[in-house]
Structure 1
Amino acid sequence: MPAQPSRHFDAIVVGSGPAGAATARELARRGGRVLLLERGGDAPLAGTLGQMAGMAAVPGKGAFLHRDASLLVRALTLGGTSTVNFATAAPPPAAMFAAHGIDLAPALEELRAELPMAPLPDGLVGPMARRIMGAARTLGLPWRKLDKMIRPQSCQAGCWRCVYGCPTGAKWTARDFVDEARRAGLAVRSGVLVERVLLEDGRTAGVEATVDGAPERFLAPLVVLAAGGIGSPRLLRASGLIRGPVPFFSDPVIAVMGSVDDLDGAGGPGGAEVPMAAGATWHGDGIALADLTLPRPMYQAFAAQAGRVDRLFAHGRTLSVMVKIRDAIGGAIGPRWVDKKLTEGDRARFCHGTEIARAILKEAGARHLFSSHHFAAHPGGGARIGDVVDADLRTAAPGLYVCDASVIPAPWGLPPTLTLLCLGKRLGMHLARAGTGQAA
C-alpha cells in the first residue's frame, strides 16, 4: 500500500511520556511547528482496572514476560507510564549526569517552582503507610515521607486509583504538559505507530509510521525519540542506527506482604491508600524500600502468583513493603521481545532488601509474611549517554535526538519521572535556542 502524503513540521517528538511531553512543550512555547506522535490512545483517564489493563497489560505491547518469571510493564497511552505510576518525585542523581558534563539543576529548579511536588499532608497518608513508617522508625531506619507529584486539594483519601489512572486530575501526569503545549500550538496525533526514522544522505528527514493500518510519512529536519526505554532502542535498531539486541536495566521490584489484625487510625477502607507515601533508600547498596498499598485485584494477583491462596481475601488488612533494587545492565531488547535475567548481585540485593522489609513488617505486628515474584516498570539504559547519544542527547545522525529513560547512563534504581522531565526541559530549551530547523 503506498504511503499517505507526507506532512511537514519543524520538529517531531515521538512519545508523550514525561521526557517527550517536556521537550514538546518547550519547543511549542517558542513557536515552532511541532508534532507529537503517540502510539497509544488519548481517552480521558477513568481510573478503572479495564482501562489500565488495556494500556499496560497487553502482551508484547504494554507487558512482557521474560526469564525468572519477571513481568515488565509500560503504558501505551497519552502521557505514557506517568498515567499509571505512583507519582513519586525522586531528584536526579547529580553526580551521575555531572560525569558526562550535564547539569540538570537549572531545569530541576524551574520544575520545582511550577509542579506539585511535596510530601503528602498527614491527612493523605493512609493507616497502612503510617503503620509501616512507625515500625521502620522504631527499628532506626531512615524512613521519611517521599515527594509526590500530587495536588493535595484534589486528592481524596481512600481513593486508591493512582495506579489505575487518576480520574480527578489530582495526580500530575505528562498529559498536563501536553495540554499546555497544545494551547501553544502543538499538534498531537495518537494511535500512530512509528516504524523507523527517515534518513536522507545520513541526515534526519522525519519518520515513517503506520496510522489506521496505512503507512504515512511525517517530515521534519529534527526528530526527538521519546518512545521509552523499550520503544526508542527498537526504533534506533529499525533505523539502522544500532545493531543487534540492546541490553538494558529494569529496576525490578518485589512486594513483601504480611497481615495485621488491626490498623491504627482512619482514612478509608483498608488497602485504599496513596502508595509510596514514605520510604528509605540505601544508594550505596542499590536498594530502596517504601510502603506499597495496591488495589485489591493487583494484590490478589500477587498472592496467587506466590501460591498464597490462603491470603487472597486478606487485602484490607495486609501491609505491603516495596523492595526495589538497582539491577545490572544486561539482557536484551529485541525487535519483538524483551529478555533479562537477574545476576547474582541482583539476587543478593533483593535478599538484603527483603530481610529489611520482613523486619519492618514483623515490627508492625504482621503475620503470614510472603513475597511476590519480581516485576518492573522502569526499563532504561538502552541508548546511554556516552554510548549512543552525547551530552546533548544527540545521535550520530544529524537532527536525531533521544530523550527518555533509555539515555540514562548507568544502572538506576530510582523513580525516573522527575529526571526525565529535567532531561526533556533541558533538551527542549537547547533545541529552541539552536533553532528547531538548524539543530544538528
Structure 2
Amino acid sequence: MTIYDAIIVGSGPGGASVARELARRRLRVLLLERGSAAPLQGTLRQMAGIAAIPGKSSFLHRDASLLVSGMTVGGTSAINFATAAAPPAMFSAHGIDLGPALTALRAELPISQLPDELIGPLAARIRQGALAQQLDWRKLDKLIRPSICRSGCWRCVYGCPFGAKWTARDFVDEAIQLGSTLIDQARVDSVMVENGRATGVRYQHGGRRQQAMAHNVILAAGGIASPRLLHASGLHPASSSFFSDPVIAVMGHVDDIEGGAEVPMAAGLYLHQEGIALADMTLPKPMYQAFAAQVGRLDRLAAHAGTLSIMVKVRDEIGGGIGPLWVDKTLTASDRNKLATGVDMARGILRAAGARKIFKSWHFAAHPGGSVRIGEGVDSNLQTATANLYVCDASVIPQPWGLPPTLTLLCLGKRLGAWL
C-alpha cells in the first residue's frame, strides 16, 4: 500500500492551497473529494447538484432558513461570487502572520476590481443610490479574469464554464500536474489513529470501503463536514457551535432598466464596527424567483429584469450546533438587530436609486465556519490534539467575521503547506 506524505480531505480553497504547496515540493499527496470533478457547465441543474443536496450541501434550520455550501472539486469557490476579502487581523492574536502568504497570492492570483465595462446596469444604479445616501460604496476586489469575463452573463453562481472566474480547481489542477492524486466522489468516514497519531483515513468510493495511509492528514472538508469527521473519529464533541454570516436580499423594481445578467458583488461597503456588509447582488432569474416566492411575493415573479437586489450580510454570533445528523442555527437578538439595520440601509439605497415595490427575502447563509476554532480545536499551526492531524478550512477561523473567506483560506493553506 502506498503511504502518502499527506492525505487532504476536501478540495476547497484551504485543501487545494495545501495540496498545491506540498505538490510543489514533490511530496506525495492524495486529495479525497466527496463531490464530483465534472467540468463546470454554468447550469442551474449542475449548481443544484453541487449546493442543494439536503443533508449534504444544504441544511434547513428550525427557523426555515437555509444554509448552503458547495460539494464539488473546488468546494464553494466553484459557485461563489468570487469576492476576495483580505484576511482579518484576528489571526495575529494567535501568533499567525498571513502577510507573506497574502503577498505571494496577490502576486499570482487574478485579484482586481472589475473594469467599468463589466459592471452591469443594475449594479451601477445601486451604486448611484448608495452615493446619493453618502455611503462609502466602493468596487470590491474580485477573483475574476476581466479579459475572459463576459458582460451580460449570469453564471458566476452557477459555476463559470468559461474560466473567467478563479476557483480552487485551478490549484487542484496544478497539484495534479505536479503528481498529486485526486479521487472524487469519495466519502471519508473517519480518521485512523494509532498511538495518538493520525495515520490515514477510511473512505468509500465506487461502492467499496477503502483505506489510505499517510504521514499527515489534513481535513479541509468545510465548516460542517470537518467537525463531523472529527466526531466520527472519536476526536471531537458530538456538537459544534459555529457562525454562518446570515444574508438577506433586499429587492426593488425600476422601470427604466432591462437587465438581470451581470457579475454580482461588483461594489459595496463593510461597516466593521457594526459587522454589516452590503453589496449589489444580481441573481439568475430562477434564484430571484425562488426568493420572491419564499416570502409570498408572487406578484414580483415576472419582475426579474428590472429588479435591483442588495445583499445584506452580517457578522453573527457563534452559536447553534453541528451534530452527526443535523445542523441548526437560529438568529440571536444581536443578529436580528444587525440585519434590521442593514435592511433599512438597503431600503434607503433602493429608494434613492428610484426603486419601488421593495421587499426582502428570508435570511439564508453560505459561510459556515468557526466550528473547530484556532485556540480551541486546533493550535496556531492548525494541528488538532492528535499528532499529524490538521484542519484547514473555514472551521478554524477563530471568531465571526462576516466577509467572504476564500482568500483567507488560501493564505492559511499556503502557510500550512509551507510548514508541514
Q: Do these two structures clear the TM 0.5 threshold for a shared fold by scoring above it? A: yes
Deviations along 1:328-355, one digit per CA (max 9) or x if unpaired, are: 0000001121001100000000000000
Tell me whether 1:229 sits opposite 2:223 in the alignment: yes
Query: What displacement does 1:69 show?
Result: 1.2
Question: Take 1:19 and 1:308, find their aligned partners in 2: how far apart are those partners?
Answer: 39
Could you tell me whether the CA contact under 8 Å between 1:29 and 1:181 is conserved in 2?
yes
- RMSD (Å) for aligned C-alpha atoms: 0.7
> What is the identity, as a one-letter code, of the residue corresponding to 2:128?
G
Distance in 1 between residues matched to 2:401 and 2:325, nearest whole Å: 24
Instruction: Provide the residue aligned with 1:328 in structure 2.
Output: 317
* 1:61 matched residue in structure 2: 56
The answer on whether the counterparts of 2:3 and 2:215 sit within 8 Å (CA) in structure 1 is: no
- Determine the structure 1 residue equivalent to 2:367: 378
- Whether 1:308 and 2:302 are equivalent positions in the alignment is no
Partner residue of 2:272?
Answer: 283
Aligned length: 420
Tell me the residue number matched to 1:80: 75
Q: Deviations over 1:187-215 (max 9, x none)?
A: 11101000010001111110001112221
SS at match of 1:361: helix
Distance 2:345 2:2 in 1: 55
Query: Which residue among 22, 29, 45 is the counterpart of 1:27?
Result: 22
2:191 match: secondary structure: strand
What's 1:195 paired with?
189
After TM superposition, give the deviation of residue 147 of structure 1 in Å: 0.2
Give the aligned residue type for 1:92: P
Which residue number in structure 2 is paired with residue 249 of structure 1?
A: 243
Alignment of 1:39-438 (within 5 A): 39-94=34-89, 96-263=90-257, 270-431=259-420
**Is the Cα–Cα contact under 8 Å of residues 238 and 324 in structure 2 kept in the other structure?**
no
In 2, the alpha carbon distance for the partners of 1:104 and 1:408 equals 13
The Cα shift of 1:7 comes to 4.2
Which amino acid is the alignment partner of residue 223 of structure 1?
Answer: V
- Aligned mates of 1:12, 1:242 — CA distance in 2: 19
Q: Sequence identity of aligned pairs in percent?
A: 66
Runs of 4+ that moved beyond 3 A:
none
> With structure 1 as the length reference, what TM-score do the two structures score?
0.95
State the shift of 1:306 in Å: 1.0
How far did residue 249 of structure 1 move? 0.4
Distance 1:428 1:246 in 2: 26
Partners of 1:298 and 1:365 lie apart in 2 by: 23
C-alpha separation in 1, matches of 2:294 and 2:329 = 20
Letter in 2 for 1:420: L
Counterpart residue number, 1:14: 9
Query: Which string of whole-angstrom CA distances, capped at 9 and with x for unpartnered residues, describes residues 386-406 of structure 1?
Result: 001000001111100000000
How far residue 47 of structure 1 moved from its aligned partner, in angstroms, is 0.2
In the alignment, is the contact (CA less than 8 A) between 1:7 and 1:217 conserved in 2? Answer: no
Question: Aligned-pair distance for 1:241?
Answer: 1.0
Q: CA deviation at 1:67?
A: 2.0
Superposition TM-score, scaled by structure 2 size: 0.99
Work out the CA distance in 2 between the residues paired with 1:67 and 1:100.
34
The residue identity in structure 2 corresponding to 1:299 is Y
Structure-2 residue corresponding to 1:438? none
Secondary structure of residue in 1 paired with 2:94? coil
Cα distance, 1:244 vs. partner? 2.1
* Unaligned stretches of 5+ residues in structure 1: 1-5, 264-268, 432-440
